[in-house]
Amino acid sequence: MAATEEELEVLRTELLEKKTETEKQGEVVRALKGNKVDKKEIEEALQLLMKLKLEVQAKEKEITSKAAGSDGKGNSKESFRQQLNDTLTSRLFFIPAFKIYGGVAGLYDYGPPGCAIKANVLALWRQHYVLEESMLEIDCPCVTPEIVLKASGHVDKFTDFMVKDEKTGMCYRADHLLKDYCTEALEKDPLLTSAKRQELKEVLTTLDELNAAQLGEKIKEYKITAPDSKNPVSDPYPFNLMFSTSIGPSGNAPGFLRPETAQGIFVNFSKLYYYNGNKLPFAAAQIGQAFRNEIAPRQGLLRVREFTLAEIEHFVDPEDKSHPKFKDVADLEFLLYPRKEQLSMEKPVKTRIGDAVSQGVVNNETLGYFIARTYLFLTSLGIQKDRLRFRQHLPNEMAHYAADCWDAEIECSYGWIEVTGLADRSAYDLKAHSDKSNHDLSAFEKYAESKVFERLKITPHLKLLGPAFKKDGDTVGKALLAMSEEEALDMKAKLEADGQAPLEVCTTGKTFTIKKEQVSISKETVTEAGRKFTPAVIEPSFGIGRIIYCMYEHCFYTRPSKGGDEQLVVFKFPPIVAPIKCTVFPLIQNEKLNVVAKDLSVALTRAGVANKIDITGTSIGKRYARTDELGVPFAITVDFETDVTNDVTLRERDSRAQVRVPLKLIASVVRDISEGHLAWLEVLSIYPNVAPSQEE
Amino acid sequence: MAATEEELEVLRTELLEKKTETEKQGEVVRALKGNKVDKKEIEEALQLLMKLKLEVQAKEKEITSKAAGSDGKGNSKESFRQQLNDTLTSRLFFIPAFKIYGGVAGLYDYGPPGCAIKANVLALWRQHYVLEESMLEIDCPCVTPEIVLKASGHVDKFTDFMVKDEKTGMCYRADHLLKDYCTEALEKDPLLTSAKRQELKEVLTTLDELNAAQLGEKIKEYKITAPDSKNPVSDPYPFNLMFSTSIGPSGNAPGFLRPETAQGIFVNFSKLYYYNGNKLPFAAAQIGQAFRNEIAPRQGLLRVREFTLAEIEHFVDPEDKSHPKFKDVADLEFLLYPRKEQLSMEKPVKTRIGDAVSQGVVNNETLGYFIARTYLFLTSLGIQKDRLRFRQHLPNEMAHYAADCWDAEIECSYGWIEVTGLADRSAYDLKAHSDKSNHDLSAFEKYAESKVFERLKITPHLKLLGPAFKKDGDTVGKALLAMSEEEALDMKAKLEADGQAPLEVCTTGKTFTIKKEQVSISKETVTEAGRKFTPAVIEPSFGIGRIIYCMYEHCFYTRPSKGGDEQLVVFKFPPIVAPIKCTVFPLIQNEKLNVVAKDLSVALTRAGVANKIDITGTSIGKRYARTDELGVPFAITVDFETDVTNDVTLRERDSRAQVRVPLKLIASVVRDISEGHLAWLEVLSIYPNVAPSQEE
């Protein structure tokens, strides 16, 4: 695997020291030569210089190689990714869509194993969030009328900056060109000066904040050209990422494919609030397709034009963001990367989420609760704990209305990838739709007891003010209403004492004399049954395709074949997400064994266990290897000894351990371990273990 | 419920007879008056006439009312549908999408119970088809490049005929206007002549076949105007129903939202065939969104602009459409409506599917197998057996390339609705994509033994033919190649005997003399290892939203409240599809009971049972009524007696029967009955029954 940025920094410092040392030694040699000292002394100094130069070269080579991700054994990030992708596409986990027509960038098909994994991940998501948190799941159309996305801001602001090759017209994302330039320079040019290195790093950090003009300036400054043709590129300009269409036959109803599923929840807030018995907090959830017409998609499944989102909108009283179940997760510890640590270039910190909330690092319990639940969800899919972190948005990354935002990021061969956003979006979205639609999208909290309080009431009698002050009547009326409580009480006292009182109107600079009958000032009693407010929303939003891709990376490994002459590929998917839970095969080709195997496969299917039967005569070792490559966690071998009262062999993928289980129990055992009701360790302790097959 | 068409026909015949009688009596009266007979005799005849006229009126009223679906108690189809839809929308099974912005015709949201039902129906579909039939499920994008839909024919032919209001520009479907006109005339005008009635019926039957000109003619003939404004309408013209968009930033890559999911499977045929070990038959399946930009959507969930399809493409050798599992379903009997019965205006016939296939009514075993499996699937969802039929396409309904097509139709308040199409589409789709993409989409069957046979080989020696025949050389060469085996052997004999032979070339009318050296005629031995062919495809295609809506209609009923003063609404969803499997409530408001109820709810959730807790103090009867309205099949009541070792009451929705089940077993019992592993009747026989609550 590649070296971390920190390790590279150490190497670069060492290189710099070595270079300085070399330069100094060069001066020593020159000085010695000038002084015409003893030949032997010069020779020794020269040898040291030579040695230092060789060390500098070696160090440079080491940096270049480590920066490219090589570990010295040729297992670079790129070759790991290539091997993974070869397996994924050859076994149809995913493939480029419409391939026979040349394909379309950013559109992929999920083949049988990928499709099963996606269904399993979504089922787990439903169980983990919708069921366990009693969320209201809804399902809205992808086709969305323009007004909805106008209100949400997407029509005006959902853009990326694009540049065009000035000769071929080819389109590129401006920030990608700049990013690639900086990354390549940093990775492949180990001899950059520290100052330049620092500058490029700063560009990378602030990339998301640059406007069109700033991006254009940098592109000109670094003389960046179109990657395919090396032609000059245009100035950057905004391109809206939504796919547009037209709804109905008239051509007068513009629409878009939704870029996220959240808006469908917001526009239904009132109905969902009512469905929930007009009570807060509650969460609504939606799983569905979203669409972004990316300018130039790349990075495989990580940046696509159509993808599945699973989104939650948790509506809360902005004055009370506590969570009743926070205590259940407060003791969980995992990597947090708060703003402070990022800005001071420190590392993510393993933190107890309870502490992060109580210390104000995470804004509130509800947000903290969802961060912790997301940690549990992602790791249950097989994501490695030490390659998962929650990174807080920097102030400039966050929308102006947001209270706090964290991204779940997973480390993979492309770097740290955002797979889930967790944002406290305050009341922004509901307010935007309320304003645009003129529908009240507020909640009402009834007080346990009505609040009764006194309030000063000023009533200018306009019918008398008009005749008395002519054209100033209106101004005087407004000035009376604008009095502070103190001024009003003062006036009331004067009117009662003298029958009149002076009123200074600062807007006109005049003072008017008000008569007692021209205004009433009195106290009134007000009863308030409750308060009306727009709920805040905390939004965890999951990119399912990205999560699945990262899971592929974290579950993929190779191990030598029995002969040691081959590296065999394995996906160590947890049983609950594995596309096929179990294979069934007769030990050898034999009609009787085939019948038992087929009956067993039917029994497994009845029990809801996705299974695959393999009655080809291939060697048992090869059949195991085939199922390992699909990440099938269990394999049942039917051997000679089998009849109804007899046992079959059950083999676990990663340990390759084997046990003998009675045929009549095997279907329910495999169902229980696949659904997570029974652990493999328990199976090992219950049933007799056997030595692994000789062929493995 | 409404009268059937047959019952109405009887009434109409009676009416006609009564009218004839009345006319005759009128003549009798006029004759009597003319003859100046006895006053009393005239009066009696008049009274009879009056009586007959009243009877005619009553009969007309009866027909009008029955035709409109009223059964005399006010329970018309419309009021049933209204009551159902009120429940569905008020409990958020579904609601019009983007309602706060006025909504968009043909776009709906599924609220929490609808969304859960959809997830359950899809899970069942996956188990019933994908798992049990070992299908290859895939998942392709909705956004589709133009070329794919050009190949499939959708770009050119996926159209409906539209007319526009000539003044307002409002759009209508031409066939809908014509259909509405005919249906309304037939239903609401009981006095139409038989001939006219027959004519309108014929128009309705042939509606799908009419082209733009024919539709336009009928619209003119019947003087049909725009329904909203009564303005004249334009001539009909084709409108493509696909939503169009543009892929990528250049604007040069037109695309569409897929109108069906099938094409994604066809374009992947080679990869799937390879994945299946290059073996036929196999089936691929896909669940996903499809989009049709309907001209004027109506009928609620039955005709929408975005919907979920579940499609299967079963690839078979066109020469062998047998199915190994057909025998498992052959004895199933259900309503078939073959072409013959439709054309002779007979009724659907309850038929054993085994007989339908062996008698050639259904084209082949594979198609028959899927029809039977679909019958099992739909009835397991709660569709009533006697309101489900499989209707064969009439010759003119079927695409020219199709071998046989059947629609699963469910009777609901809108009539018989197609919910699943089952079509043997032959090799059409694969051939179309193969032609357009220049990719080989064929299969190869290896013979058990290679076939060796002799073949005649004719080799004209063009180098000699040219000089010999000048400008005719080419023609002679082609004529030699075109000889039949008999002609060639005849020539060979002549050449060997005489050294030359005559060749008559019919295209030129000339006869040429061929010399021995100008052509070689010999037998060669050919070895064929197998045959290459384009597979046929049998396509079952399920409209999930339509199925769900019909399920709502078939599961909906009302029953009187205990007091009898109210009709309570119930959905008798089978447990496996019910949105919530079980409610939990404490019998009365009590903190201890609440704790038990809450713990039980958590235990049910852990067991994967969707449940809802109700700790409001509402009466037990009202709480049952609330859950019945959501179709919750089971309710658990926690009462005073409960502690860990004690029992709770379990109530079944439709029978309202109650049993006492130990608290520690209840979660697993409810899981088993919800997932179909345990029948309610078994529960009744195992646990002590108790009298229903007094409040019900």
- DSSP alpha helices (H): ranges in B438-483? 462-469, 473-481
Fold topology of B5-72: Helix Hairpins (1.10.287)
Q: If 0-12 CB within 10 Å is exposed, 13-18 middle and 19+ buried, where does residue B333 land? A: middle
Higher model confidence: residue B62 or residue B82? B82
Checking if the pLDDT of B95 tops 60, the result is yes
Q: Which residue type, as a one-letter code, is found at position B312?
A: I
Cβ contacts (< 8 Å) between A126 and chain B: which residues? 119
- The answer to whether the CB of B534 falls within 8 A of the CB of B544 is no
CATH class entry, domain A5-71: mainly alpha
Whole-number Å distance between alpha carbons of A596 and A590 = 10
Cis ω for the linkage preceding B236 (within 30 of 0): no
Cβ contacts (< 8 Å) between A248 and chain B: which residues? 105, 171, 293, 295
The per-residue pLDDT for B74 is 46
| pLDDT tens digits for range A333-349 | 999 999 999 888 889 99
Q: Rounded to whole angstroms, what are the CA distances from B508 to A390, B477, B500, B511, B618?
A: 85, 13, 20, 9, 99
Interface test with B, best of A121, A125, A134, A139 (most B CBs within 10 A): A139
Q: In this complex, do B289 and A293 lie within 8 Å of one another by their Cβ atoms?
A: no
Place of tokens 């052959």: B330
The per-residue pLDDT for A471 is 85
Q: Scanning every residue of chain A, which has its alpha carbon at the shortest distance from the alpha carbon of B256?
A: A245
| pLDDT tens digits for range A564-610 | 888 899 999 999 999 999 999 998 888 888 888 999 999 999 988 99
The per-residue pLDDT for A554 is 97
CB atoms within 10 A of CB B20: 10
**Mean of the pLDDT values across residues A20-35?**
84
Checking if the pLDDT of B70 tops 60, the result is no
Whether CATH 3.40.50.300 fits B114-153+257-442+534-563: no
Count interface pairs A-B at CB distance under 8 A.
Answer: 209
For strands A244-246 and A689-690, give the pairing. unpaired
Cβ contacts (< 8 Å) between B99 and chain A: which residues? 267-268, 271
Q: H or E segment at B443?
A: strand B443-460
Checking if the pLDDT of A409 tops 90, the result is yes
Cβ contacts (< 8 Å) between B250 and chain A: which residues? 169, 171
Sign of CA dihedral B448, B450, B453, B459: positive
Whole-number Å distance between alpha carbons of A673 and A663 = 16
Cβ contacts (< 8 Å) between A306 and chain B: which residues? 141-143
**Mean of the pLDDT values across residues A97-111?**
96
- The answer to whether the CB of A371 falls within 8 A of the CB of A409 is no
**Mean of the pLDDT values across residues A528-542?**
95
**Do A5-71 and A450-530 fold alike per CATH?**
no
Q: H or E segment at B417?
A: strand B415-424
Q: In this complex, do B137 and A114 lie within 8 Å of one another by their Cβ atoms?
A: no
Cβ contacts (< 8 Å) between A239 and chain B: which residues? 249
Backbone angles phi, psi at A369, to 5 degrees: -60, -45
The per-residue pLDDT for A463 is 87
Place of tokens 């097989």: A382
Checking if the pLDDT of B191 tops 90, the result is no
Q: For chain B, how many helices (H) and strands (E)?
A: 24, 29
Higher model confidence: residue B12 or residue A218? A218
Whole-number Å distance between alpha carbons of A292 and A308 = 11
Cβ contacts (< 8 Å) between A605 and chain B: which residues? 131-132
Per residue in B31-57, is it b (16+ CB within 10 Å) or e — as a string? ebeeeeeeeeebeebbeebeebeebbe
The per-residue pLDDT for A47 is 87
Fold topology of A450-530: 3.30.720
Beta-carbon contacts of residue B366 (< 8 Å; ≥ 6 apart): B281, B314, B316, B321, B322, B323, B326, B424, B538
**Mean of the pLDDT values across residues A448-463?**
88
Q: CATH for A580-690? A: 3.40.50.800
Return the structure tokens found at B279: 């073996």
Q: In this complex, do A126 and B119 lie within 8 Å of one another by their Cβ atoms?
A: yes
Q: Which residue type, as a one-letter code, is found at position B562?
A: K
Place of tokens 């539209």: B162
The per-residue pLDDT for B69 is 55
B694: Cα separation from own chain's centroid: 45
Whole-number Å distance between alpha carbons of B629 and B92 = 11
Structure confidence at residue B690 as a pLDDT band (50, 70, 90): confident
- The answer to whether the CB of A334 falls within 8 A of the CB of A390 is yes
Structure confidence at residue A72 as a pLDDT band (50, 70, 90): very low
Q: Rounded to whole angstroms, what are the CA distances from B505 to B498, B499, B511?
A: 20, 19, 6
Q: What's A129's DSSP letter?
A: I
Choose among B100, B148, B249: nearest Cβ to A267. Answer: B100
User: Helix A212-221 to helix A174-188 angle, to the nearest 10 degrees?
Assistant: 40
Q: In this complex, do A112 and B138 lie within 8 Å of one another by their Cβ atoms?
A: yes
Checking if the pLDDT of A628 tops 60, the result is yes
Checking if the pLDDT of B554 tops 80, the result is yes
B290: Cα separation from own chain's centroid: 15
Q: Scanning every residue of chain A, which has its alpha carbon at the shortest distance from the alpha carbon of B111?
A: A138
The per-residue pLDDT for B72 is 45
Higher model confidence: residue B308 or residue B296? B308
| pLDDT tens digits for range B358-386 | 999 999 999 999 999 999 999 999 999 99
Q: In this complex, do A142 and B142 lie within 8 Å of one another by their Cβ atoms?
A: yes
Whole-number Å distance between alpha carbons of A331 and A369 = 11
Choose among B105, B137, B243: nearest Cβ to A116. Answer: B137
The per-residue pLDDT for B75 is 57
Q: In this complex, do B249 and A148 lie within 8 Å of one another by their Cβ atoms?
A: no
Query: What is the helix, strand, coil percentage profile of chain A, to 5?
Result: 45, 25, 30
Per residue in A186-206, is it b (16+ CB within 10 Å) or e — as a string? bbeebeeeeeebeebeebeee
Cβ contacts (< 8 Å) between A132 and chain B: which residues? 605
Most confident of A455-459, B207-211, B535-539: B535-539
Checking if the pLDDT of B1 tops 50, the result is no
Choose among B115, B169, B291: nearest Cβ to A139. Answer: B115
Cβ contacts (< 8 Å) between B97 and chain A: which residues? 140-141, 264
Q: In this complex, do B112 and A136 lie within 8 Å of one another by their Cβ atoms?
A: yes
Return the structure tokens found at B251: 């604007």
| pLDDT tens digits for range B446-475 | 898 999 988 888 989 888 888 888 888 888
Task: Tell me what percent of the residues of chain B surpass a pLDDT of 70.
Answer: 96
Q: In this complex, do A249 and B112 lie within 8 Å of one another by their Cβ atoms?
A: no
The per-residue pLDDT for A74 is 46
Q: H or E segment at B551?
A: helix B544-555
Whole-number Å distance between alpha carbons of B415 and B429 = 32
**Mean of the pLDDT values across residues B310-336?**
97
Whether CATH 3.40.50.970 fits B446-533: no
Place of tokens 């009056």: B50
- The answer to whether the CB of A126 falls within 8 A of the CB of B610 is no
For strands A443-460 and A244-246, give the pairing. unpaired
Could you please report the per-residue DSSP string of B113-138?
Answer: HHHHHHHHHHHHHIIIIIITTT-EEE
- The answer to whether the CB of A77 falls within 8 A of the CB of A541 is no
The per-residue pLDDT for A100 is 96
The per-residue pLDDT for A21 is 87
| pLDDT tens digits for range A115-174 | 999 999 999 999 999 999 999 999 999 999 999 999 999 999 999 999 999 999 889 999
**Mean of the pLDDT values across residues B345-366?**
95
**d(CA A495, nearest CA chain B) in Å:** 51
**d(CA A245, nearest CA chain B) in Å:** 5
Whole-number Å distance between alpha carbons of B377 and B390 = 13
Q: CATH for B159-240? A: 3.30.40.230
Choose among A97, A100, A267: nearest Cβ to B439. Answer: A100
Q: In this complex, do A249 and B109 lie within 8 Å of one another by their Cβ atoms?
A: no
Q: Scanning every residue of chain A, which has its alpha carbon at the shortest distance from the alpha carbon of B103?
A: A145
Choose among A264, A268, A306: nearest Cβ to B143. Answer: A306
The per-residue pLDDT for B4 is 67
The per-residue pLDDT for A574 is 97
Place of tokens 């037109």: B254
**d(CA A110, nearest CA chain B) in Å:** 5
**d(CA A541, nearest CA chain B) in Å:** 19
Beta-carbon contacts of residue A323 (< 8 Å; ≥ 6 apart): A365, A366, A368, A369
- The answer to whether the CB of B308 falls within 8 A of the CB of B287 is yes
Structure confidence at residue A682 as a pLDDT band (50, 70, 90): very high
Cβ contacts (< 8 Å) between B439 and chain A: which residues? 100
Checking if the pLDDT of B5 tops 90, the result is no
Q: H or E segment at A31?
A: helix A5-35
Q: Scanning every residue of chain A, which has its alpha carbon at the shortest distance from the alpha carbon of B436?
A: A101
The per-residue pLDDT for A4 is 67
3-state secondary structure A50-84: HHHHHHHHHHHHHHHHHHCCCCCCCCCHHHHHHHH
Interface test with A, best of B126, B142, B143, B271 (most A CBs within 10 A): B143
Cβ contacts (< 8 Å) between A608 and chain B: which residues? 127, 131
Taking all residues of chain A, what is their mean pLDDT, rounded to a whole number?
90
**Mean of the pLDDT values across residues B235-256?**
93
Whole-number Å distance between alpha carbons of B472 and B514 = 12
Cβ contacts (< 8 Å) between B441 and chain A: which residues? 100
How long, in residues, is chain A? 696
The residues spanned by each domain of chain B are 5-72, 114-153+257-442+534-563, 159-240, 446-533, 580-690
Candidate from B41-45, B154-158, B216-220, B534-538 with smallest mean pLDDT: B41-45
Q: In this complex, do B162 and A249 lie within 8 Å of one another by their Cβ atoms?
A: yes
Place of tokens 């658990």: B636
Nearest of B86, B106, B85 to residue B96 by alpha carbon:
B106
Structure confidence at residue A73 as a pLDDT band (50, 70, 90): very low
- DSSP alpha helices (H): ranges in A482-638? 485-498, 544-555, 591-606, 620-629
**d(CA A349, nearest CA chain B) in Å:** 32
Q: In this complex, do B109 and A433 lie within 8 Å of one another by their Cβ atoms?
A: no
Choose among A139, A162, A248: nearest Cβ to B293. Answer: A248
